[in-house]
Amino acid sequence: MRILVIQESDWIERNPHQQHHLFDRLSIRGHKIKVIDYPIDWRKKEPKGLIYPRRIFKGAWKVKPEANIEVIRPSIFKAPILDYLSIPITHSWEIRKQIKKFEPDIIVGFGILNAYIGLKEAKRESIPFVYYPIDVLYTLIPEKSLQVLGRWIMKKILESADLVVTINKRLRQLMIEMGANPYDTIVIEAGIDLEKFNPKLDGSKIRKKYGIKNDEILLFFMGFLYEFSGLKELALEMAKNEYPNIKLMIVGEGDAHDNLQRIKEENNLQSLILAGRQAYDKIPEFLAAADICILPAYRDEEIMQDIVPIKIYEYLAMAKPVIATRFPGIKMEFGEDNGIHYIEKPEEVLRVANELAKLGKIKSEGMKGRKFVESNDWETITDKFEEALKKLCVGFKPRAGIEPATTRLRVSRSTKLSYRG
């Protein structure tokens, strides 16, 4: 298959998500993949100037070096609000150009604005369109005033997409409530590379490097450091020194980093380890060094309510118990007694971790989690996704919704394509 992927985040710089794992593997299987992305962090990294120029990245693999993916990044205006307003212009041009040049058999959208554009162009050309929201996307829009518009656009996409794929049960439920057809809305869970995330890995070198003693409990967090991540509150709780045998290692960068560094310095908090950003290939070794993994985000944070971050699966695959805020999506996905210990606020992490250690349950709880996720191997997840795309392509007929400009079907190519190339 020839697959055109559209997203509103940085394919190159952001940490691996569901789409990176899936499309890297589909590329290795012989499918042709092109990605249209968006430089979401342009404010932090780009030099001065009004225009962010169009760029092309070839061989843009993320988790599998053998993958061959081409990423096209359309130009945008480098100014708040104008960056969003430029998407309907430059991304429309690029999507039309790639439909003509690349001739995709299917289009998969992960964003809002450019996904809506991709949907319209797919309808125009009678190409099947898959919508794959891995978050409640409109809640991620920084400008609160634009979230209402984002929700409305997302609803329109859900109503007209030929297939909606979600990453967990709770998100599927929410997408149906927003207008997705329940018969065309499926769950394809997050996956894990079970060979890479192996509980038998030795983390002693990492513990030695960062001065963690054998009798100390190491809590671990990885990912983007959002202000709502609960890490600042946890660090301040650690500063009370009620649990001197517990240390916290944080791997990642983000908005909360400077405040965490300030808390560490002001409180001489040696038990807080800010390891910065690490290569993805090193993450299993860092996880091997940990005793317990955490996700202590604010309980009322809207963004977190209905998602299940991939890192939870990776934590559990390494046989690490997880202390996580009791969000509906996570609770629905993992239930009780599967290695997840729920909290209501970040400050509770230390107490729960200490209880697990005193009861000698860290290893047994970790093994419960490993057992729960053992069926989520990435190759199996990719098989499910590939099969869903295959079924949609063969004999495709456009759904009602956004009216196509032509009724021409692409059956001739779809029925002849090879699913391994």
Write phi, then psi, for 45 (nearest 5 degrees): -120, -20
Going from N- to C-terminal start, the domains of the chain cover 2-191+378-414, 204-373
The CATH number of the domain covering residues in 2-191+378-414: 3.40.50.2000
> 71 by DSSP, 3-state: which?
strand
Rounded mean pLDDT of 350-376? 95
pLDDT tier at 414, thresholds 50, 70, 90: very low
Radius of gyration of the CA atoms of the chain, in A: 22
Instruction: State the pLDDT at residue 120.
Output: 95
* Contacts of residue 170, Cβ cutoff 8 Å, sequence gap at least 6: 306, 308, 328, 329, 332, 333
Q: What is the pTM of this model?
A: 0.76
Least confident of 283-287, 312-316, 391-395: 391-395
Task: Please classify residue 213 by burial: count the beta carbons closer than 10 Å to its beta carbon, then call 0-12 exposed, 13-18 middle and 19+ buried.
Answer: exposed
pLDDT at 172: 92
pLDDT at 409 over 60: no
pLDDT band for position 416 (cuts 50, 70, 90): very low
Instruction: Name the average pLDDT for the chain.
Output: 88
pLDDT score for 165: 95
The per-residue pLDDT for 24 is 96
pLDDT value for 276: 94
- How does residue 407 score in pLDDT terms, banded at 50, 70 and 90? very low
* pLDDT for the residue numbered 412: 35
Q: What's the CATH number of domain 204-373, 3.40.50.740, 3.40.50.1820, 3.40.50.11720, 3.40.50.2000? A: 3.40.50.2000
Strands 185-187 and 163-166: parallel
| Side chain identity at residue 411, one-letter code | V
267-297, pLDDT tens digit by residue?
Answer: 999 999 999 999 888 999 999 999 999 999 9
Residue 273 CA to residue 295 CA, distance in Å, equals 16
Does the CA dihedral 12-150-257-18 come out positive or negative? negative
Which pLDDT band, with edges at 50, 70 and 90, does 420 fall under?
Answer: very low
Do 2-191+378-414 and 204-373 share a fold?
yes
Q: Which of 136-150, 257-271, 343-357, 368-382 has the lowest mean pLDDT?
A: 136-150
Looking at 204-213, 247-256, 395-404, which range is the least confident one? 395-404
- The pLDDT score that the predictor gives to residue 406 is 35
Share above pLDDT 90 across residues of the chain, in percent, rounded to a whole number: 67
- Which residue type does 190 have? A
pLDDT recorded at residue 65 = 92
